[in-house]
Structure 1
Amino acid sequence: MMIRFLLSAATLALALPVPVQAQGTSGVQQPQAAVDRFARARDNYVALRDGRRAVSELTPEELEDVLELDRRLRGNMPDDRSPKQQCIDNEVRSVGGRPSQLAWRVIAMKCRD
């Protein structure tokens, strides 16, 4: 699992453009806000993975950034989630990432094996 994460991180480093401060008219330029969002998404991704944060603690923008980072990290890797986990992920995403207790019960019923 850790090896796959490291490989994914290496893939991400190659896939994402290197941030360059705006100095002149040549080269790739990114606003500082985009760099900050990437850094925040990376920190949130690691905190979620380590269990230091919950998905419900993220703002909608942070959740979208983490999901985009996860998509990029997975890259060409096959989706090895079980059909049940895929269902749960899709249902959680459909309610905005913050299901209520009732929504969790509905999701559990929808995504039974």
Structure 2
Amino acid sequence: MNQMYGESLKQQLVPLPLTTSLMLVPLKMRKSNKKQDGAYGYVNFYGISEVDREKFKEKEAFIKLNDTYTQKLYQEYGSSVDRIKECIHAAQVFRLNTNITEMIYEESREAKHFSNIKFNDK
């Protein structure tokens, strides 16, 4: 599945739409110890409620999940926003490549959720 969406988005780390309520977004969750060290974790797109820029560090951002839990990210604010924005495209590709009829009526569900996320570019 990752390969199918990766080809569509022209990259390796892509959002993974697994069900109508679970789409996993790869975000850099920790500093890498080595060059090939996997530092990415997957977060449910529908749980993201806010994205904040770190005031004094360009390479860090924070996401808030379900308006309660805050997670530090080890990637730039703009990169974080771009990864989250990719969920809209990934959901469209997912709908085209599956026969899940319940997803057809939710065509703009991801766009609506994206517009509800608070982006604080401090």
Q: What TM-score comes out, normalization by structure 2 length? A: 0.31
Radius of gyration: which is bigger?
A: 1
Report which of the two has the higher share of strand.
2
Report which of the two has the higher share of helix.
1
Q: What TM-score comes out, normalization by structure 1 length? A: 0.32
